[in-house]
Amino acid sequence: MHLSDLWFILIAVLWAGYFVLEGFDFGTGILLPFLGRAHDNDKRVMINSIGPVWDGNEVWLLTAGGATFAAFPAWYAAMFSAFYLPLLIILVALIIRGVAFEYRGKRDSDRWRAGWDSAIFLGSLVPAVLWGVAFGNIVRGIPLNAAEHFTGNFFTFLNLYALLGGLTTLVLFTLHGALFLALRTTGDLRARANRTAGYVGVVAIVAGAGFLAWTEASYRASNTSGEGIASVALAALAAVALIVAVFLNRLGREGAAFAANAVTILAAVAALFTALYPNVLPSTISPAYSLTTANAASEARTLAVMTVVACIFLPFVLAYQAWTYWVFRKRVFAPAGSAKRPTSPPPSPPRPATRPS
């Protein structure tokens, strides 16, 4: 195996980890106005359930981008140039979402909190859709010319296959968030999250099966090699794991259902990257213009240094994040008596009438 192939696999692992971990963050934010509509305390519990981990989960995105820049500079340049506007929209949404988490509780005002709740919802919804659209276009290919320049426009990305990819990531992340909330909360909020997971799971099965089947039928770079067969097997694993997750949720096996849905996301990302290989960014103009793991990679010495650095520091990063999840593993609940606290001051009692002197 060449080091360029190894780094292609490592980048796929980083994206898979990002979607698994940030997926339930996005799902929680998307469900905030729906599961938290009964009382502000439910919204506080939902936000607190991801509060200790959401910013750490985004490190996987930064690492994936940095690894792509160092290992495949031509891929990074072509992709970030072509996807400039969608990636900018995602970045702005993530910034607004992060600010909303920090500022929501800074003022005791229903209107203030409602505004930041909307920011959390939109800051979760927009990336959840656009990441699917972006990866759909990466697998499908974009119009790259011989100079590795993008010759399309924003509407090039709005093809039916990519839009189905956006719908798939949206429902998968929403399901992931519902299963996470069922695992981390208590009482009526936990029950509502379980019911929501059952409804969203049905849509996720239909959308996910359609997207993966379309991928394997039309966009595998190799149909008969070991990579092509592996991609089909991984897509089948993702479909089975998703069905199992929905079934386990109906049985009340919350931890197992969440783990099964995590396997779904991992297998689906692996199926997409395996279908893409050896390309990293196909050209729809001519296969000769496609970027591959060979012609888009850095020189061997650069990849060797990166491999040594990753072997030294990656175990520490994984151990730290695992420790964080272990510390904050317990269920989150509202403080005792807080459910009875009104969200607005009660009206003042009428003043007793006084007899004039």
Residue 307 CA to its chain's centroid (Å):
26
Distance spanning both ends of the chain, measured CA to CA = 101
- Distance, in Å, from the CA atom of 21 to the CA atom of 23, rounded to the nearest integer, reads 5
37 close to 185: Cβ distance less than 8 angstroms: no
Domain-embedded: residue 307:
yes
Three-state secondary structure readout of 99-166:
HHHHHHHHCCCHHHHHHHHHHHHHHHHHHHHHHHHHHHHHHHCECECCCCCECCCHHHHCCHHHHHHH
* Beta-bridge partner residues of 150: 144
Closest CA to 68 of 140, 7, 17: 7
Contact partners, residue 82, CB within 8 Å, separation at least 6: 142, 144, 150, 152
Domain-embedded: residue 344:
no
Question: What pLDDT does 335 receive?
Answer: 63
- Distance, in Å, from the CA atom of 85 to the CA atom of 284, rounded to the nearest integer, reads 20
Give Cα separations from 198 to 99, 117, 201, 205, 243 (angstroms).
31, 24, 5, 11, 11
What is the mean predicted confidence (pLDDT) over 33-56? 87
Pairing of strands 279-281, 291-292: antiparallel
Write down the H helix ranges in the chain. Answer: 3-35, 40-50, 54-57, 59-71, 73-82, 84-103, 110-140, 160-184, 187-218, 226-250, 254-276, 300-327
Hey, what amino acid is at 10? L
Locus of tokens 């910034």: 95
Return the number of other C-beta atoms located less than 10 Å from residue 140's C-beta. 19
Domain-embedded: residue 88:
yes
Contact partners, residue 36, CB within 8 Å, separation at least 6: 42, 43, 45, 46, 117, 189
Return the number of other C-beta atoms located less than 10 Å from residue 285's C-beta. 16
Give Cα separations from 270 to 139, 154, 309 (angstroms).
12, 27, 24
Hey, what amino acid is at 177? G
Closest CA to 344 of 112, 122, 29: 112
**pLDDT digits over 307-325, tens only?**
999 999 989 989 988 998 9
181 close to 49: Cβ distance less than 8 angstroms: yes
Domain-embedded: residue 352:
no
Question: What pLDDT does 110 receive?
Answer: 86
Q: Is the pLDDT of residue 356 over 50?
A: no
Domain-embedded: residue 230:
yes
Q: Is the pLDDT of residue 77 over 90?
A: yes
Weakest mean pLDDT among 138-152, 155-169, 183-197, 337-351: 337-351
300 or 38, which is more confident: 300
Domain-embedded: residue 174:
yes
179 close to 249: Cβ distance less than 8 angstroms: yes
Mean pLDDT across the chain = 90
What is the mean predicted confidence (pLDDT) over 295-299? 93
Structure tokens at 3: 């080091």
Domain count, the chain: 1
Domain-embedded: residue 257:
yes
Q: Is the pLDDT of residue 355 over 80?
A: no
Question: What pLDDT does 166 receive?
Answer: 97
CATH number at residue 180: 1.20.1630
Question: What pLDDT does 332 receive?
Answer: 86
Backbone angles phi, psi at 113, to 5 degrees: -65, -40
Question: What pLDDT does 357 receive?
Answer: 39
Task: Please give the model's pTM, rounded to 2 decimal places.
Answer: 0.90
93 close to 86: Cβ distance less than 8 angstroms: no
Residue 313 sits in which domain range?
Answer: 9-138+149-334
Give Cα separations from 311 to 65, 166, 199, 307, 320 (angstroms).
18, 34, 42, 6, 15
Closest CA to 179 of 249, 250, 237, 251: 249
Weakest mean pLDDT among 55-64, 137-146, 332-341: 332-341
Domain-embedded: residue 348:
no
